Amino acid sequence: MKRKSDTLFILLVAIFGSVIILTGCAAVVPVRIVPTEGTPHYPPTDPASVMVLRSEPLRPFETLGQVVLDPGHTLPVQEMEQKLRKAAASLGANAVFIISDMTTLKGPVLAYAVRYKD
């Protein structure tokens, strides 16, 4: 009887572990950052301070790099914006402006991380 309960316990642990691993893998959304060559390196900014814009800023700025978010599935806008903020902040950006179509909320999202000059 002991052997049967040990086998059942191991089986349940294996199933539970597999579910945890698969759930974790499904939640990962790839974000690729491509820094602009020749741009100075800035210290990271606070992601909460990075503005998400739907068009190019009117203020003078320099482009620090591209941010490509490829969720592979539909994500809530708020989650997409948070991932874009975090990636842009790692480059020292003040803002990130989205240049891809956000109306469908599917497919890759392309944005530019920018730092204001003024």
15 part of a folded domain: no
Enclosing domain of residue 62: 29-116
Q: Give the tens place of pLDDT for each residue, 62-103.
A: 999 999 988 777 778 899 899 999 999 999 999 999 998 655
Residue 10, domain member (yes or no): no
pLDDT of residue 105: 58
The CATH number for 98's domain is 3.30.110
Q: Is residue 21 part of a domain?
A: no
- Residue 38 located in a structural domain: yes
Give domain status of residue 20, yes or no: no
Percent of all residues in the chain with a pLDDT value above 90, rounded to a whole number = 53
Amino acid, single-letter form, for residue 5: S
- The answer to whether residue 11 is domain-embedded is no
Flag whether 66 is in a domain: yes
What distance in Å separates the CA atoms of residue 111 and residue 118, rounded to the nearest whole number? 21
In a domain, 17, yes or no: no
Mean pLDDT, the chain, whole residue set: 82
Q: How many structural domains does the chain have?
A: 1
Q: How far apart are CA 64 and CA 112, in angstroms?
A: 7
pTM: 0.72
Q: How far is it, in rounded angstroms, from Cα 71 to Cα 63?
A: 23
